[in-house]
Amino acid sequence: MSASRLYLDWNATAPLSQAARAAFVAALDFSGNPSSVHAEGRVARAALEKARRQVAALAGRDQAHVIFTSGATEAANLVLTPDFRMGRSPLKVGHLYVSAIEHPAIREGGRFPASQVSEIPVSAAGIIDLDALSDLLRSHDAASGVPMVAVMLANNETGIIQPVAEVAALVGAAGGLTVVDAVQGAGRLDLAIAKDADFLILSSHKIGGPKGIGALIVKGETLMPAPLVRGGGQEKGHRSGTENFPAIVGFGAAAEEAAGEIDSRAAQLAHLRDRLEEGLRQAAPDVIIHGADQSRLANTSFFSLPGLKSETGQIAFDLEGIAVSAGSACSSGRVGESHVLSAMGFDPKLGAIRLSIGPTTSPEDVERAISAFGRIAGRRRMSGAA
C-alpha cells in the first residue's frame, strides 16, 4: 500500500485548484483597495467584478445579484432574517421552515428566534416531504408576515438531490420566499434547477476555491434582507467591510473552471463512485449505502456498517492513510450521531461514514479505499461486532 495520504473528503473541502491558486496568488500583488477611485483601486475593482461575473455564471444569475460574504454560514445568517425590504418598504417574514436534513448553518435559523422556526420532515428516502410542506404553508399565519422556506439542493451527507423546483413552486404559490443552500450542488449540478429560488447560497472552498469566501445570490435587487454586517457600505450596502479581494478572485477562477466541467466531471465521478460502492458491498454484504436508489451527487457515498461506530470507522480509515468523514465537517471536529440519518428514520446510534471524491480521484485511489474498507470490515468480524 502506498505510504502517501489519500484524500476522500471533498464534500468537507475541495483541494485548492491550480486555477484558483494562480488567481489568488496574482491578486496578492494588487495594491489597490477595490473601493478606491484611483487607478490602482480601479484595477482591483475590475478584477473583483470579473470574479463576480464568473460566480454569477456558475449560478446562472446576473452578476449584479451576487453578494460576497465570508462564507456560506455568513450568507445563511444574512438571508435568514425576519427583516426584509421590498424597495423602500419594509417586508416582514413571519416564519422560517427548514428541512430536517439541513446543514447546521441553516438549521440554527439565522436571525430568527427559535419560536419562529419549524422543521419540515423528510421521507425515509431522505427527500423533503412536499405534502408536509404544503400543510405547513397552508397553516402559516399570514398576519405574521410571509413564509420563508430554506432547503438544500443536495444533502452534504447522503448526496441526495432535493426537489428544489417543486419546493420553490409551492412556496411561490403561498407568496413566500425560497432559500436554496447550493453549497454541495455548485460545480456538480446545473444550478438552473434552482432558477426559481429567491436566494442561493454558495461556498468557494467546496468547488476548489479559497476558504473564507462565499456568496449570497439574489433573484433580483428589489427584495433584500436587512444587512448583517454594517459599515462602509461595500457590496452595495448589503455586506460592509473591505472585500477579501484575493479570495474573491480565487473564488471566481474556481467557479469558471467548475462551470465548464460539470457534465464531464459528473460522468467520471459517477463511474468511480459506483465502483467504490460495488467494492464496499463485496467486502461487507451487510453494508448499508444510504440513498443508493435515489438521485444523488455523483461524487458522494454515505454508508453504514452495522457494529461500526462513526468515530471508530473514521479513525480506522485515517490509520489506513485515508481521509474520510462521518458527515458534516462544520461541527468543530465533533463526531456524533447524524441528524440526517435520524430524520430518515434510522437508529441515531447507527454509525456512518462519508467518502466523497473529486476530479483528481483516480481508479487506483478507489481500489485503495476498497481494500482499506475490506481490512476494517474484517477486523469488525474478528472482534465479533457483527
pLDDT digits (tens, 9 = 90+) for 237-275: 999 999 999 999 999 999 999 999 898 899 999 999 999
Q: Which residues, at least 6 apart from 117, have a Cβ–Cβ distance to it below 8 Å?
A: 95, 96, 97, 98, 109
Q: Are residues 144 and 37 in the same domain?
A: yes
Q: Are residues 55 and 31 in the same domain?
A: yes
The overall average pLDDT reported for the chain is: 94
Confidence at 332, pLDDT banded by 50, 70, 90: very low
- Which of residues 209, 229, 259 is at a domain's end? 259
Residue of 226, 329, 330, 335 marked active site? 330
pLDDT at 1: 38
How many domains, the chain?
A: 2
**In sequence order, which ranges of 80-117 are alpha helices (DSSP H)?**
104-107
Q: Are residues 166 and 43 in the same domain?
A: yes
Q: Are residues 127 and 203 in the same domain?
A: yes
CATH code for the domain in which residue 138 is found = 3.40.640.10
> For 111-120, 153-162, 251-260, 346-355, which range has the lowest pLDDT when averaged over its residues?
346-355
pLDDT at 348: 75
Q: Are residues 106 and 10 in the same domain?
A: no
330 as an active site residue: the answer is yes
Question: Which residues make beta-bridge pairs with 202?
Answer: 215
Domain annotation covers residue 1:
no
- The whole-number average pLDDT for the span 291-309 is 96
pLDDT of 331 over the 70 cut? no
Cell numbers of 228, please?
A: 448583517
The predicted-structure confidence for 199-230, as pLDDT tens digits, reads as follows: 999 999 999 999 999 999 999 889 999 999 99
Question: Which residues make beta-bridge pairs with 263?
Answer: none
pLDDT at 385: 46
Query: Taking each helix axis from N to C terminus, what angle separates 363-382 and 310-319, rounded to the nearest 10 degrees?
Result: 120
Domain annotation covers residue 177:
yes
pLDDT at 124: 95
Q: Are residues 131 and 156 in the same domain?
A: yes
Domain that holds residue 182: 21-259
pLDDT of 329 over the 60 cut? no
Q: What is the pTM of this model?
A: 0.94
pLDDT at 27: 97
- The whole-number average pLDDT for the span 128-145 is 98
Q: How many alpha carbons lie under 13 Å from residue 48 in its C-beta half-sphere?
A: 25
pLDDT at 326: 86
**Sign of the torsion angle spanned by Cα atoms 251, 77, 201, 218:** negative
Q: Please say whether the beta carbons of 95 and 309 come within 8 A.
A: no
- Which of residues 259, 292, 314 is at a domain's end? 259
pLDDT of 232 over the 60 cut? yes
The predicted-structure confidence for 7-60, as pLDDT tens digits, reads as follows: 999 999 999 999 999 999 999 999 999 999 999 999 999 999 999 999 999 999
E strands in 146-273: 146-152, 177-181, 199-203, 214-218, 223-225
